[in-house]
């Protein structure tokens, strides 16, 4: 049975583990990041829309009166599902990466109708704000959470493994900073090209990149089915 390490933070790590095991592999939960909520301005009264680029951002947004009726744009379907589960009603998914999200914003919204608030973490792939500002939008990024890297490698990542799943460049960078043990004997499975670029800083037996930045595509590329 293939042994697959999951490096993303909880609670998403456990959800991914269940999906890995449903495909016939052994899931090893070994988070390299811890998500820590930050205090921030949650007033959205003057916003045209809210932007979420991760499930963690949705989880870090409080149940603010009135905010649940705002237009929500998300980077992908998993984040959109989390937003709907949190009670948001007008949710639109780019079903892709930050480039696809910027394109969705430009199609769906009008720069003249108010600012956009990006509920984000301390590490964001790409330059979503710069892209949107160049198109005339006013974008305010609010730091809702921090992804704190482990200072020591989880013991599970020192044991025999076949595949290491990386959902973020931050997790990949942390693994490499902690020595990337046995990487030459492992397959690195990456959610996106951005993540793959981070893992390439170590030598691996194989690197797999999902066809699209969705977990279904990542697991299909890695485990089949």
pLDDT confidence tier of residue 96, bands split at 50, 70 and 90: confident
Q: Are residues 23 and 41 in the same domain?
A: no
Q: Which of 147, 174, 196 is the last residue of a domain?
A: 147
- Which residues make Cβ contacts (< 8 Å) with residue 210, sequence separation at least 6? 189, 190, 191, 192, 217, 218, 220, 221
Same domain, 23 and 73: no
- Per the structure, the count of domains in the chain is 2
In a shared domain, residues 65 and 139: yes
213 and 114, same domain (yes or no): no
45 and 124 assigned to the same domain: yes
Angle at alpha carbon of residue 208, lines to 204 and 212, rounded to 5°: 150
- Note whether 40 and 115 are same-domain residues: yes
Query: pLDDT band at residue 105, thresholds of 50, 70 and 90?
Result: very high
Q: Do 45 and 131 have their domain in common?
A: yes
Residue predicted with more confidence, 225 or 7: 7
Same domain for 62 and 44? yes
Residue where a domain terminates, one of 89, 123, 147? 147
Place of tokens 């500002």: 133
Query: In terms of domains, do 60 and 143 share one?
Result: yes
Q: Strand pairing of 139-149 and 33-37?
A: antiparallel
- Please tell me whether residues 23 and 42 are part of one structural domain: no
Predicted confidence band of residue 125 (pLDDT cuts 50, 70, 90): confident
Residue 64 has pLDDT above 70, yes or no: no
65 pLDDT tier (thresholds 50, 70, 90): low
pTM score above 0.85: yes
Measure Cα distances from 210 to 8, 26, 70, 76 in Å: 16, 20, 32, 14
Choosing from 94, 123, 147, the residue where a domain stops is 147
Task: State the alpha helices, DSSP H only, in 135-192.
Answer: 169-177
Q: Which domain holds residue 120?
A: 36-147
216/160 same-domain check: yes
The reply to whether 47 and 129 lie within a common domain is yes
Q: Could you read off the pLDDT of 137-167 as tens digits, one per residue?
A: 999 999 999 999 999 999 999 889 999 999 9
- What is residue 100's predicted lDDT score, i.e. its pLDDT? 92
pLDDT(63) > 80: no
CATH number at 58 reads 3.40.50.10090
């Amino acid at each position: 049975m293939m042994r697959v390490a999951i490096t993303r933070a909880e609670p998403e790590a456990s959800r991914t583990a269940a999906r890995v095991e449903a495909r016939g592999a052994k899931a090893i939960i070994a988070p390299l990041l811890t998500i820590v909520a930050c205090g921030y301005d949650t007033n959205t009264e003057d916003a045209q829309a809210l932007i979420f680029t991760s499930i963690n951002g949705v989880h870090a947004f409080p149940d603010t009166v009135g905010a649940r009726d705002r237009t929500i744009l998300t980077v992908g379907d998993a984040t959109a599902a989390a937003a709907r589960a949190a009670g948001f009603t007008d949710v639109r998914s780019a079903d892709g990466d930050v480039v696809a999200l910027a394109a969705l914003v430009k199609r769906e919204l009008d720069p003249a109708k108010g600012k956009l608030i990006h509920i984000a973490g301390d590490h964001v792939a790409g330059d979503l704000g710069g892209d949107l500002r160049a198109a005339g939008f006013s974008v305010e990024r609010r730091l809702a959470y921090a992804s704190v890297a482990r200072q020591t490698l989880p013991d599970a990542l020192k044991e025999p493994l076949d595949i290491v799943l990386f959902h973020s460049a931050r997790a990949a960078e942390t693994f490499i900073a902690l020595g990337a043990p046995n990487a030459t004997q492992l397959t690195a499975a990456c959610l996106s090209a951005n993540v793959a670029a981070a893992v390439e800083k170590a030598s691996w037996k194989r690197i797999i990149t999902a066809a699209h930045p969705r977990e279904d595509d990542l697991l299909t590329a890695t485990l089949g089915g």
